[in-house]
Amino acid sequence: MIKVFKTDVQYAEKAKHIICNLLQKYPFLSINFDLEDEDKILRIEGIFFKAADIIHCLKEQGHYCVDLPIDLE
């Protein structure tokens, strides 16, 4: 499963910190940010996670995070 989120994360150091925090809770996920994108995209790939949990984790750290639908067509 791949999920894409729109965030308000602006800086690479903060993105690294968020990734480390998420990997502590979900070590089996592949996580990266695209801070060059206007939506400051967070991409997460893995088998067993809930979008709501990811959103909650970012909000706990003071960040905006919204699950974006993916249209593969």
Task: Give the helix/strand (H/E) hosting 59.
Answer: helix 51-60
* CATH number of the domain within which 19 lies: 3.30.70.100
Residue 28 lies in a domain: yes
Considering its fold, how many domains does the chain have in total? 1
DSSP helix/strand/coil, 53: helix
Residue 22 lies in a domain: yes
Domain of 34 in residue numbering reads as 2-68
Residue 25 lies in a domain: yes
In order along the chain (73 residues), what is the average pLDDT of each group of 10 residues?
94 96 94 96 92 95 91 51
Instruction: Please list, in sequence order, all residues whose beta carbon lies within 8 angstroms of the beta carbon of residue 55, skipping any fewer than 6 positions away.
Output: 5, 65, 66, 67
Residue 63 lies in a domain: yes
Residue 73 lies in a domain: no
* pTM, two decimal places: 0.89
